[in-house]
Structure 1
């Protein structure tokens, strides 16, 4: 009851404010749900991030099935699959036929590059004899086309009609039946195709090598014959009389294809460089595609009495120690008094060298820190070759396997190496439709010791574990080849792609370097690559030979190397060779009378420049590439690439959930703080209970006797009227009205409970 009728009191529901906001059950439920959300986000983040960093450590590769196991699965193909003579690429075609039918088989054959523009299946037969006349007659009698014959190599083409007949008969193995039964065939393999050395990206080089000074004194290559050996000469007819001489002698050794209809203008661009430097040299063009055709082309050039062969093509398949087939071809040619100039290769950034490592014993090579995959990004049709140090011995057998971005096997090369004379190499050619990434793996099928790998990839970028050293290709590895590296024309910096030595038998290569980046009418843009550097040396050699007709090929090489501008470490090295090409000043004994009418080719691409100095050019704008010592083998880099990924993975997997989790904790703390403030404010908002004497006049004396006071609503004890607490039980009189209204005290925490509540709002204890 209100003892002060003159003072209006608040309603009972205002004495203790109603629960609201976070103080309600719904509020606390919302807090719980938000907490669960943060915890869930942290867990999901860790689950998503971890695979990105630890995939390479968690990936388990299934060893590829052996040919014996595949033969058990397809017993009708056992004779083909277990034939050591047949290249594994052709075996894959038969397996594709069994799994997906004729359409799948032909599609795979085209992806492998086994089918030519005439829809013929191309093969190379390797014989144990150079006498192939009888064998050729037998093959032609079966309807098989003979496209090239050179020494012990026979290129053949099986018409698509014969393939379809064999497929429709349900016995695709009949395709090779006429071949396998013939004598003298030791291998049925892929035709080995040359690879051009061009990168398109500019400059003028005559003054850089002092060729302009030599031309001014009448040395233009007159009387010297240069053979350009290349993969194609498209557009050459359009440049006759302008960027090429009025007369060239040309011949194609590619079956059924003219040398200017190959789809490849590379040889024309090479000839254009030669003509700029040696405009009066006589040029001979020879086009080829396979190694058998290459031998025929070389024989023809030698028969034309060429003095120099300029070859800006290389092979990534071979021992790379000067003992391979192409290297031997160079040796035979040089022995006929011919100077062979070859590009060193553009493989410094697309090459891997390493010793076989298999710490977990599953047969797969571990490139670095346990990683069994090496990634790359393809650019269209890719060729890759895995070579190792057991050439011609046949006592070590490795496989080359290609995987997609999900680490699923796409194709593999699994040739059988088990006999003397077997190539210690695997080769894959495959057409890609996207940029990947894709992955490469090496698998030890049968080994007795750790092998040394020499892996190359053509038209593949961003090779994960590249090794610039030992990236010299064939036939630049030949002792008889004058091998040429690439330096940028304006500052003498070694191009990052230029292949480095030494050869695998420890010899210094390249022998010399020359400018690249010259203007090219053929390409319509600057001509980059060691392909552009090699013809500089070929043409410069023609000028030297004109001045010194008594020189032998080796004397011409010595002349060029002695005058080269030494770059990198002092002396010859495996980056620049003897240095950058520089003809130097014409000596008094070399002077020749100026021709009555100096030969000038129309529309010269050169911009007049001052005569070059024999000292290195400025290197202000480019960073030099360090050379490599020729003697020690390069250590396999055990750098921190994978370790860094591991550290980043740990940081990411801990940091991300940690940040999210701490954010959640902070948010919950903030909510708790708001809740605490709400509780405090609710207490502060409780109205004071009207006390006896309130509402009287100020001059009216207060009664201080116990009888004038009021009894405690809890225990009934009489207290003074001004007392704030009960002198017996200690209750605060400000809650007196609440107690009178039926509020009760919690037996657990001592707080007051609203009438009718089943639970204490402070401690949660059940009240009844």
Structure 2
């Protein structure tokens, strides 16, 4: 059983797959290019004056799949007392970089890029937590060492019941019961999640909203000519006891637009470990499909294989992969374990539509702009980054106030509005204006053309202007489009049926059909109040130290 659980996969949700970024060795320890902007946005610098002296050094743990290259950076871009804890089960294959960069973000903010180490942690422990056994061992060790703050910039796409329960959250609860402040990324499947009830359609397939009782997935044209896909079907029959299985059985199928099967997962779900030894069997209520897709439309379908489901049963389809789009996405419920745990501090990203959220569970509690720049052409966003930013704030406040609890931290840092005024070019240079009362109204995003959908998936919102619809972002859209560059500050950035492009604004008076402009929210403007935040619900507060 333990050997099997050790192979249960945890997956990074950092957009653009930071772990595979082709960095030179000399660049890995370099200062983040936008570190000063991050420090200012989070209001960290006032905490480094002579008036603020830590009362106690905090013990910090970072849980992640891997920390490749971290060892050689100890004493450089990581604190001198950094320890790497491998876990009881060795990693299979190459270790990834994700955890190393989370540790770097956290330490860069805690030390103002190495300028001031007054908040250096008493312990800075990096736990490799790939697989259930390593995850469990890390939690037990963190408890034994009286860790104060755990940063976990990852989520599990199965192992939970969409409500804070399940065997993953049972482990996390052990740490929470000891008063550890647990900070978790909310996940980046906010635009690629579908939730449904067990309702029969035709011929044994479950009823789904897309064509052919499906959830529709689109792979647009990309520079690589393909889209990596990981799709997970899970249903709400995970037990708190990891040794207990489920015999409620569903199968998962991916087809192309001619209904040819591309991949299928059809394990037989069983209740006991002994039964799970049979080939093609699993104790756990989940099916997983991985594939590399060519540009086109695909269908995810679910087939009922057992008759023991009830009206209380539900399922979730979570899809990961750069550039992938889900036409039938549920943008209200997409938070995965353990970010769905009521006592975990879940952190979203206010500058990407992919940031996961749950209206039912009031998650995430906090958000921030997530952009981290490694170089001019290497810019990454996602909730992994913002969780590391919030963890830095938690360590600072806990150092000054050792009695700090989760509730006290949230009470003090969540007093700011989520929708700041725009920082882009002024309307006088852009040549259009709003149609609302001193604000821009948002438009429905259902049934938009594929190229508009592609623009929205970069983290924008469709808005109404006197010059037609445009896609607005709380950041410069070129941050997400490193393949193109402006010649002039006011150049038009557009998304077309053939991909992104740049045009001189003075030479393009009317937007042609099949093209939409991408704009950073203009200087001093806002989205209309009825629109709320571009990406996150009203209960999510913008993170900034008081």
> What's the TM-score, normalizing by structure 1?
0.46
* Aligned residue runs from structure 1 range 47-126, under 5 A: 125=1
Find out whether 1:330 has 2:330 as its counterpart: no
Query: What residue number does 1:284 align with?
Result: 125
Looking at secondary structure, tell me which structure has more helix per residue.
1
* Structure 2 CA distance for aligned equivalents of residues 235 and 517 of structure 1: 22
Q: Output the CA distance in 2 between the equivalents of 1:430 and 1:337.
A: 38
Distance 1:418 1:251, change over 3 A: closer
**2:140 maps to which residue?**
299
Change (3 A) 1:435 1:220: farther
Count of aligned pairs between the two proteins: 385
How far off is 1:362 after superposition? 1.4
Aligned to 1:444: 304
How far did 1:229 drift?
0.5
CA offsets per residue over residues 651-706 of structure 1, 9 Å max, x none?
xxxxxxxxxxxxxxxxxxxxxxxxxxxxxxxxxxxxxxxxxxxxxxxxxxxxxxxx
Question: Could you tell me whether the CA contact under 8 Å between 2:229 and 2:293 is conserved in 1?
Answer: no
Residue 336 (structure 2) pairs with residue 427 (structure 1): no
Q: Find the residue that maps to 1:206 and give its secondary structure.
A: helix
- Structure 1 residue 501, shift from structure 2 partner: 0.5
Residue 500 of structure 1, CA deviation: 1.1
Contact 1:346 1:498 in 2 (8 A): yes
For residue 254 of structure 1, report the CA deviation from its aligned partner: 6.6
- Please state whether the residue corresponding to 1:322 is helix, strand or coil: coil
Structural mapping, 1:329-478, within 5 Å: 329-359=171-201, 361-368=202-209, 371-377=212-218, 382-392=229-239, 394=246, 396-417=248-269, 425-432=285-292, 434-435=294-295, 437-447=297-307, 449=310, 451-459=313-321, 461-478=324-341
Shift in alpha-carbon separation, 1:565–1:254, aligned structure 2, 3 A? farther
Q: CA deviation at 1:262?
A: 3.7
Deviation at 1:525, TM superposition (A): 2.6
Return closer, same or farther for 1:424/1:221 CA change in 2, 3 Å cut-off: farther
Which residue is equivalent to 1:540?
393
Superposed CA offset, 1:449-495 (max 9, x none): 5643321012261123111111011100112211111123xxxxxx2
Aligned pairs (5 A) from 1:607-622? 620=525
Distance, in Å, in 2 between the alignment partners of 1:215 and 1:327 is 36
Cα distance in 2 for residues equivalent to 1:621 and 1:423: 50
What is the rounded CA distance, in whole Å, between the counterparts of 1:190 and 1:414 in structure 2?
A: 21
Q: Name the structure where strand makes up a greater proportion of residues.
A: 2
Q: Cα distance, 1:553 vs. partner?
A: 4.0
Alpha carbons of 1:220 and 1:540: their partners in 2 closer, same or farther (altered >3 Å)?
farther
- Distance in structure 1 (CA, Å) of the matches to 2:524 and 2:15: 21
Alpha-carbon distance in 1 for matches of 2:97, 2:173:
28
Corresponding residue for residue 206 of structure 1: 39
Contact 1:232–1:262 (8 Å) recurs in 2:
no
Structure 1 residues not aligned, in runs of 5+: 1-124, 126-153, 157-188, 489-494, 569-615, 631-768
Q: Which residue of 2 aligns with 1:275?
A: 107
Could you say what secondary structure the match of 2:398 adopts? helix
1:517 equivalent in alignment to 2:371: yes
Distance change in 2, residues 1:533/1:454 (3 Å): same
> CA offset at residue 508 of structure 1?
1.1
> Are the equivalent residues in 2 in contact too, given 1:308–1:538 (CA < 8 A)?
yes
Q: SS where residue 428 of structure 1 aligns?
A: strand
Change (3 A) 1:256 1:403: same
Which of 338, 348, 355 lines up with 1:485 in the alignment? 348
Task: State the SS of the aligned residue for 2:384.
Answer: helix
Partner deviation per Cα, 1:150-169 (whole Å, 9 max, x = no partner): xxxx116xxxxxxxxxxxxx
Change (3 A) 1:326 1:546: same
Give the TM-score, by structure 2 length: 0.63
Higher Rg of the two aligned structures: 1
Which stretch of the first structure deviates more once superposed, 545-554 or 329-338?
A: 545-554
Partner of 1:167: none
Whether the 8 Å CA contact 1:221–1:542 is kept in 2: the answer is no
Is the aligned partner of 1:552 residue 2:405?
A: yes
Are the equivalent residues in 1 in contact too, given 2:155–2:185 (CA < 8 A)? yes
Deviation at 1:540, TM superposition (A): 0.4
Cα distance change of structure 1 residues 396 and 499 upon mapping to structure 2, 3 Å threshold? same
User: Which residue, out of 353, 362, 376, partners 1:496?
Assistant: 353
Partners of 2:299 and 2:68 in 1: CA distance = 35
CA contact (8 A) 1:541 1:560 kept: no
The whole-number CA distance in structure 1 between the counterparts of 2:40 and 2:268 is 53
Structure 1 residues 292 and 381: alpha-carbon distance in aligned structure 2, compared to 1, 3 A threshold: farther
- Partner of 2:350, secondary structure, is strand
- Deviation of 1:377 after TM superposition, in Å, equals 4.8
Out of 606, 621, 625, the residue aligned to residue 534 of structure 2 is: 625
- CA distance in 2 between partners of 1:469 and 1:213 (Å): 36
Contact kept, 8 Å, 1:346 with 1:529, in 2: the verdict is: yes
- Asked whether the 8 Å contact 2:6–2:131 carries over to 1, the reply is no
Aligned to 1:266: 98
* Residues in 1 aligned to 2:71 and 2:56: alpha-carbon distance in whole angstroms: 22
1:517-545 deviation digits (Å, cap 9, x = unpaired) = 02347x98333100000011111011111
